[in-house]
Amino acid sequence: MNDIKNRLVALRHQMSKNDIAAYIIPGTDPHAGEYIPDYWKERDWISGFTGSAGTAAVTLDKAFVWVDSRYFIQADDQLKGTGFAAMKMGLPDTPDMLKWIAGELKVGDRVGVNPLLFSVNAYATMGKLFAAHGISFSSIDLIKDIWSDRPAIPSEKVFAFDVKYAGKSCSEKIALVRKSLSDTQTDMLVLNALDDIAWLFNIRGNDVDYNPVTTAYASVSFDKSVIYISSDKIDDNLKAYFRSNDVLVKDYLDIYKDLPNISTDTKVLIDGNKLNQSLFECIKTEVVNTLSPVAALKSIKNNVEIEGVRNAMIKDGVALTRFFIWLENNVDSGTLSEISISDKLYKFRAEQDLFYGESFSTIAGYADHGAIVHYKADDSSDANILPEGILLLDSGGQYLDGTTDITRTISFDTPTSQQTADFTLVLKGHIGIATAVFPIGTRGSQLDILARKALWDRGMNYGHGTGHGVGHFLNVHEGPQNIRMDENSTILQPGMIISNEPGLYRKGEYGIRTENLILVVEDQTTDFGEFLKFETLTLFPIDINLIDKALLTDKEILWLNEYHQMVYDKLSPYLNTSEKEWLSQKTKAI
């Protein structure tokens, strides 16, 4: 605690010295990452708050961390005695952070941020808001000189990702990016998003949790491609690999020397939602700010990637079959817990071919914990699992041939009529998406209601998106495609993989979510145009014990029975007799 207090004193000293009236410290990194390496955990270091989301703001006499409802308790706990207090977002009295800062400051005051930690677009939005209040806004890193025992930038080894899994070579991908540059009349692309870089160069790494990426920057122009990466991370083989693909290797921070010196007629393409402000400030030439062409290319999986995912789904389904058999056989012991079953599930996945790790931290939400959407059990919350009530289990694997993400909700005893009604309404939404047919040009937000209609009709809803894009042996959360209530101008195109995960949450009781991954495929071409549909990729039974058949239409029952038949047909060749028998019971027609 005293450590934190001293850090706050040191920061305020830096602030006065630099004429900064308020300093904002976010929980982000320079690479638009979901998982932040320790080196960039400036907000954790300055405040002591370790949640996955939350932003600190410090004035010369006040200090707060804005956190969402997931972290109200944790923030109170971690911030006690630090000089910081929690600002609980969503509560009626909690001010918006930027407005609060504007209210604390006076005209002419300066707000500072580390430009490494903000996207170009986020930085611009903040700048505009402060300008409207007559407050100036500056890029300044006040942490670097006071954080003495800072961890190192991650330097885990990088490996080349075999084209037999990637489907397209690095050279082919670079050629596609150059075509995008040509189409957009730009000359150079600058990349900071680690999954974009991993996809483009067909490399993978271990620098952050769950996402098999490596810390680097990159640029592609017509005459050269450069990866900016620490030389410690790449061995001679990888050097040869880059050379063979005409990729120049430079040191990680050399991009800060190169960008200011590009020729003055270079039009640079950036994705302002991802590129950090610090790199942006190095570009002195004309900039086109739009969706990264790498993100767009990466979102449409090629046939090798798709076949890989189909194969990964079989392995994931086999692992889940063995896990759920084990769970059923052991739940009566009363000794299982949310964490212990997550560990066990990991072991079953790890037995599968080409398994690399989890694609995110398993959410095992037993009973009322299931109603906490982003729940993650820790030592203090870890609930004992008894042979009663409802378990929500959301988990996924990284395999070299694909990334999986599946949620199943099961009941250990006879469910209540409210539970079966809730489960079945969520299932109706899941089937609504799974069976959707839509013309080329349709956006995810147009389909979202299909997942919610059965709930909305009864005055119910869920507070998260229906589906996120999924990478191929890459980030389990991948843009730009999704299915959400919010607008997103991205149209759904064949080859895109998205999750289909409607849910329903009853606080203090239980949570329900049924999630499969789905692939956009062609349906038919008629006089009225070209139509698309989804193919469900995930292979594991949906708990029929939780279904109220009377709430399903004939078509919905047909979908479920056909889905279960497919699950059985695809998984059973890899199962032993008793496993087959179990799966046959779980997939029997209703």
Strand order in the sheet with 406-411: 363-366, 390-395, 406-411
d(CA 393, CA 362) in angstroms, rounded, equals 7
Q: Is 453 in the site for a copy of itself (CB under 8 A)?
A: yes
Q: Which is nearer to a copy of itself, 303 or 526 (CB)?
A: 526
- Among the listed ranges 11-19, 166-174, 233-241, 452-460, the one in contact with a copy of itself (CB under 8 A) is 452-460
d(CA 15, CA 9) in angstroms, rounded, equals 10
d(CA 319, CA 323) in angstroms, rounded, equals 6
Determine the Cα angle at 475 with ends 471 and 480, to 5°. Answer: 60
Q: Which residues lie across from 512 on neighbouring strands?
A: 504
- Report long-range pairs for 104-107 (Cβ below 8 Å, ≥24 apart): 104/21, 104/22, 104/59, 104/62, 105/21, 105/22, 105/59, 105/133, 105/135, 107/133, 107/134, 107/135
Q: Min. distance of Cβ 546 from a copy of itself in angstroms?
A: 20
Judged by CB under 8 A, the residue of 122, 176, 339, 485 near a copy of itself is 485
Judged by CB under 8 A, the residue of 129, 291, 449, 544 near a copy of itself is 449
Q: Min. distance of Cβ 448 from a copy of itself in angstroms?
A: 6
Q: Which is nearer to a copy of itself, 301 or 443 (CB)?
A: 443
Judged by CB under 8 A, the residue of 256, 346, 531, 574 near a copy of itself is 531
- Among the listed ranges 52-60, 320-328, 402-410, 456-464, the one in contact with a copy of itself (CB under 8 A) is 456-464
Judged by CB under 8 A, the residue of 459, 508, 577, 578 near a copy of itself is 459
Q: Which is nearer to a copy of itself, 29 or 187 (CB)?
A: 187
Q: How many chain residues bind a copy of itself (CB under 8 A)?
A: 32
Q: Min. distance of Cβ 447 from a copy of itself in angstroms?
A: 7
**Angle formed by the axes of helices 554-571 and 577-586, to 10°?**
170
Within 10 A of 535 (CB to CB), how many other CB atoms are there?
A: 13
- Among the listed ranges 307-315, 433-441, 474-482, 537-545, the one in contact with a copy of itself (CB under 8 A) is 433-441
DSSP letter at 108 equals: T
Judged by CB under 8 A, the residue of 400, 450, 518, 575 near a copy of itself is 450
Judged by CB under 8 A, the residue of 263, 264, 487, 550 near a copy of itself is 487
Q: Is 489 in the site for a copy of itself (CB under 8 A)?
A: yes
Encoded amino acid at 298, one letter: K
Q: Which is nearer to a copy of itself, 261 or 526 (CB)?
A: 526
Q: What is the CA radius of gyration of the chain?
A: 25
- Among the listed ranges 238-246, 353-361, 444-452, 577-585, the one in contact with a copy of itself (CB under 8 A) is 444-452
Of residues 220, 254, 219, 235, the one with CA closest to residue 155: 235
Token pair of 91, please? 């509560």
Neighbour-count burial for 95-128, b at 16+ CB within 10 Å, e otherwise: eebbebbbebbeeebbbbbbbbbbbbbbbbebbe
d(CA 289, CA 376) in angstroms, rounded, equals 36
Residues in 500-529 that interact with a copy of itself by CB under 8 A = 523-526, 528-529
Judged by CB under 8 A, the residue of 361, 446, 493, 572 near a copy of itself is 446
Q: Min. distance of Cβ 452 from a copy of itself in angstroms?
A: 9
Of residues 198, 216, 208, 215, the one with CA closest to residue 35: 208
Token pair of 134, please? 């007559």
- Among the listed ranges 23-31, 293-301, 393-401, 445-453, the one in contact with a copy of itself (CB under 8 A) is 445-453
Judged by CB under 8 A, the residue of 109, 187, 358, 448 near a copy of itself is 448
Strands 225-228 and 247-250: parallel
Q: Min. distance of Cβ 197 from a copy of itself in angstroms?
A: 29
d(CA 63, CA 17) in angstroms, rounded, equals 18
Q: Which is nearer to a copy of itself, 167 or 502 (CB)?
A: 502
- Could you tell me if 219 and 191 are in contact, meaning their C-beta atoms sit under 8 angstroms apart? yes
Q: Which is nearer to a copy of itself, 338 or 448 (CB)?
A: 448
- Among the listed ranges 25-33, 157-165, 382-390, 450-458, the one in contact with a copy of itself (CB under 8 A) is 450-458
Q: Min. distance of Cβ 571 from a copy of itself in angstroms?
A: 29
Q: Which is nearer to a copy of itself, 264 or 303 (CB)?
A: 264
Q: Is 460 in the site for a copy of itself (CB under 8 A)?
A: yes
Residue 171, phi then psi, degrees to nearest 5 = -60, -40
Q: Is 461 in the site for a copy of itself (CB under 8 A)?
A: yes
Q: Is 445 in the site for a copy of itself (CB under 8 A)?
A: yes
Q: What is the DSSP string of 413-428?
A: SPPPHHHHHHHHHHHH
Residues in 103-132 that interact with a copy of itself by CB under 8 A = 132
Q: Which residues bind a copy of itself (CB under 8 A)?
A: 132, 185, 436-439, 441-443, 445-450, 453, 455-457, 459-461, 485, 487, 489, 523-526, 528-529, 531
